[in-house]
Amino acid sequence: MKQTKWLSLLLSTGLLLAATACGSSNNTNSNGENASTAAPASAEATAAPGTSENAAKPELKSLNLWSKDDYNTYPLAKVIEERTGYKVKYEMLPADKAMDKLNLLISSAEPYDVITISGEKAVYTDYAKMGALVDLTPLIEEFGDNIKASISQASFDAMKIDGKIYGIPNSSSQFAGADLMIRQDWLDKLGLKTPTTLEEFTEVLKAFKEKDPGGTGNSGAPMSIDGALATTANITGAFGIGTSWNTVDGQLVPAPLHPGFKEYLTYMSDLYKQGLLDKEFAVNKDATLKEKFTSGKIGVIQLPWYDIPGIADALTKNFPDAKYAYLPALKGKDGQMGLGMSGGFDRITFIPKSAKHPEDAIKWINAKLEKETFKLIAIGEEGKHHTYKDGVYSPILPLFTDERGNASNYLTGIDEKLYPIYWQARVQKDARLFAGFSYLNNELPAEARIADPLALAPSLPEYSKNNASLNQMINDFAVKVIVGEESPDAVADFAGKYKAAGGEASTKEVNDWYATVKK
């Protein structure tokens, strides 16, 4: 008796809940379907030239990186369908453990026609070597006129594995991403000039500590960094290790084997000892760091320019008079300086062997790179999504964000000449963000930026395999030295461990390749 009553109660409430919740979601579901089934009709109605063979075009299945919006319902999906004539079903990888999932899907031959993943070449190389990918070289030759016109030979070369092209890259725009940001109003209050050398910078930190312009008492520190980024932008540049690989005597040398590494660590651990660096920096995650800066406890942090708007909002809400500014590239004792630049690829698109329609997939990719279509995907329509004036594209908000904010998710290959220009519309979404970007990349002299020498390197299996764990090792060691748990003299020991853990093989491989491009 009792349990049947209980069961029925549970069942009925459960079903009731499901019914009410799913009732509404069914609506959205069918709405979504209506929208997408309506799309081909409208495409035919508007009869864009070249879409007459619509009926023969199969539906493609595309696998993409995670996005917080559903690829299928985001407005761009429809635009692309109308322009290319291909109906595409998009699926996405999880945000976490994406590569585990991808491995399962690829090894069990799920029939995706197009797969777009992040620009890290390790996975791509693996799959190509395993024979899991379609050789695109002949397909591009036959169906890929726009692809050939858009992507440079250098990018294709970086994709080559045993002489064959298996992937279509989206090369990144090259720029300096992060720098030290300082509380300008603190500098002004103490009547200090913006530091330009490492020495001056140290003096500023000391002044911040002694004179406490922020009135933090003993709860703050002059500078703080992210515990996961113990090799700080700008400061590393002053020691000649502005990027992860730097040239010494014509050879590429990773940080642990570079003489500047020890000097850098000595400098940082001195700051720590003198109380100029946040005692708890090792615990800092991205959010903690921003919290400390915007609540006025810290005067200098490392910050990428795309994070400026959030910081600026919070800072001015808390301190209406607060001003912030990027520091110029600080000069070290030998005049060395520089901010590391990012480079390489944002995305790689490939076609797995299990694809049902490899030819159509290439035709689709090719169609998306047709000049007008590509522009429409990247920044939308002039007058609706963006304006064009004096060679500069500026976004029209909020429609640009609403309908093109996710555009980079839909790009499978880019027009390498035009996209960097289009792309700046993205940076102009926020004036403060643009100011930061512009300072680092336009106002600072060119020699203040150090390009990533590996940006266009081909697939380097050893390097790719060990890169993540080696970087973790470097960071762990750097943190330990800075807090004084290990002495800077331990660098030699560490270099040995680093080599043994795969660093030596990586260094050799990187330099073997470097020798071929130097000629």
Partner 1 sequence: MTKRTKGDRLLDIFVYLFLIVLGVMMLLPLVNVLSKSVSEEWAITSGKVGILPVGFQLDTLREVISSSMFIRAFCVSVGVTVVGTLISILMTALTAYPLSKRNLPGISFFMVLFIFTMLFSGGLIPNYLLMRQLHLINNLWVLILPGMISVFNMLVIKSYYESLPEALEESARIDGAKTYTILFRIILPLSMPVIATIALFYAVGYWNDYFGPMIYINDTALKTLQLYLQDVVMDASAANAVNKSVDDLMNMSPEGIRAATVVASTVPILFVYPFLQKYFIKGVLIGSVKG
Partner 2 sequence: MGGSVTDLNRKSKLQATRIRSASKWRLAWRNRDYYVLLIPGLLFLLLFKYTPLYGVLIAFQDFNIFEGIRGSEWVGLEQFHKLIQSDEFGRVFMNTLLISVYKIVLLFPVPVLIALVLNEVRLMFFKRTIQTIIYLPHFLSWVIISGLFVTILSTSGGLVNNIIQWFGGEPVSFFVSNDYFRSVVVFTAGWKESGWNAIVFIAAIAGIDQEQYEAAAIDGAGRIRRMLHISLPGILPTVVLMFILRLGSVLDAGTEQILTMYNPVVYETADVIGTFVYRIGLGKMDYSFSTAVGLFNSVVGFILIVSGNYISRKLLNRGIW
Q: Of the two residues 80 and 139, which places its CB atom closer to partner 1 in the complex?
A: 80
Specify which residues 182 forms β-bridges with: 300, 325
How many beta carbons lie within 10 A of that of residue 162, not counting itself?
9
Maximum Cα–Cα distance across the chain: 88
Asked if 248 touches partner 1 (CB under 8 A), the answer is no
Residues 174 and 342: beta-carbon distance below 8 Å:
yes
Asked if 119 touches partner 1 (CB under 8 A), the answer is yes
Per DSSP bridges, beta strands 114-118 and 345-350 are antiparallel
How far, in Å, CA of 192 to CA of 328, rounded? 15
Q: Of the two residues 377 and 470, which places its CB atom closer to partner 2 in the complex?
A: 470
Asked if 268 touches partner 2 (CB under 8 A), the answer is no
Q: Could you tell me which stretch among 230-238, 340-348, 412-420, 449-457 binds partner 1 (CB under 8 A)?
A: 340-348
Of partner 1, partner 2, none, which one sits near residue 476, judging by CB under 5 to 8 A according to partner kind? partner 2
Binding residue for partner 2, selected from 35, 48, 98, 132, defined by CB under 8 A = 132
Residues 291-350 that bind partner 2 (CB under 8 A): 291-292, 297
- Type of residue found at 198: L
Nearest approach in angstroms of CB 27 to partner 2 is: 29
Binding residue for partner 1, selected from 155, 231, 244, 408, defined by CB under 8 A = 408
- Chain centre to alpha carbon of residue 114: 21
Beta-carbon contacts of residue 320 (< 8 Å; ≥ 6 apart): none
- Type of residue found at 193: K
How far, in Å, CA of 39 to CA of 82, rounded? 7
Of partner 1, partner 2, none, which one sits near residue 279, judging by CB under 5 to 8 A according to partner kind? partner 2
Residues 301 and 224: beta-carbon distance below 8 Å:
yes
Decide: residue 242, CB within 10 A, 0-12 exposed, 13-18 middle, 19+ buried: buried
Residues 209-228 that bind partner 1 (CB under 8 A): 228
How far, in Å, CA of 402 to CA of 388, rounded? 19
- Type of residue found at 157: D
Nearest approach in angstroms of CB 239 to partner 2 is: 20
Q: Of the two residues 21 and 397, which places its CB atom closer to partner 1 in the complex?
A: 21
Nearest approach in angstroms of CB 464 to partner 2 is: 8
Q: Of the two residues 136 and 478, which places its CB atom closer to partner 2 in the complex?
A: 478
Nearest approach in angstroms of CB 10 to partner 2 is: 17
Q: Could you tell me which stretch among 85-93, 141-149, 260-268, 480-488 binds partner 1 (CB under 8 A)?
A: 85-93
Residues 455-484 that bind partner 1 (CB under 8 A): 468
Size of the site for partner 2 (CB under 8 A): 40
Q: Of the two residues 139 and 298, which places its CB atom closer to partner 2 in the complex?
A: 298
Nearest approach in angstroms of CB 503 to partner 2 is: 13
How far, in Å, CA of 86 to CA of 362, rounded? 11
Nearest approach in angstroms of CB 25 to partner 1 is: 4
Of partner 2, partner 1, none, which one sits near residue 38, judging by CB under 5 to 8 A according to partner kind? none
- Type of residue found at 85: G
DSSP SS3 for 389? strand
Binding residue for partner 2, selected from 189, 279, 508, 518, defined by CB under 8 A = 279
Residues 310 and 301: beta-carbon distance below 8 Å:
no
Residue that is written with structure tokens 């379609």 in the block: 134
Residues 166-225 that bind partner 2 (CB under 8 A): 216, 219-221
Asked if 468 touches partner 2 (CB under 8 A), the answer is yes
Residues 16-45 that bind partner 1 (CB under 8 A): 17-18, 21-22, 24-26, 28-29, 32
Tally the residues of the chain: 519
Decide: residue 196, CB within 10 A, 0-12 exposed, 13-18 middle, 19+ buried: middle
Residues 260-299 that bind partner 1 (CB under 8 A): 285-287, 290-292, 294-295
Of partner 2, partner 1, none, which one sits near residue 65, judging by CB under 5 to 8 A according to partner kind? partner 1
Among 451, 394, 454, which residue's Cα sits nearest to residue 424?
Answer: 394
Asked if 498 touches partner 2 (CB under 8 A), the answer is no
Nearest approach in angstroms of CB 113 to partner 1 is: 14
DSSP letter string, 196-244: -BHHHHHHHHHHHHHH-TT--TTS-EEEE--TT--S-TTHHHHTT-SSS
Peptide bond into 398 cis (omega under 30): yes
DSSP SS3 for 253? strand
Nearest approach in angstroms of CB 433 to partner 1 is: 8
Which x/- pattern over 416-435 shows residues binding partner 1 (rule: CB under 8 A)? ----------x--x------
Q: Of the two residues 355 and 440, which places its CB atom closer to partner 2 in the complex?
A: 355
Q: Could you tell me which stretch among 138-146, 205-213, 247-255, 284-292 binds partner 2 (CB under 8 A)?
A: 284-292
- For residue 350, what is the enclosing H or E element? strand 345-350
Residue that is written with structure tokens 């461990």 in the block: 497
119, two tokens: 């620009």
User: In the complex, which residues of this chain contact partner 2 (CB under 8 A)?
Assistant: 99-100, 103-104, 107, 122, 130-132, 216, 219-221, 227, 278-280, 282-283, 285, 287-288, 291-292, 297, 464-469, 472, 475-477, 479-480, 483, 485, 501
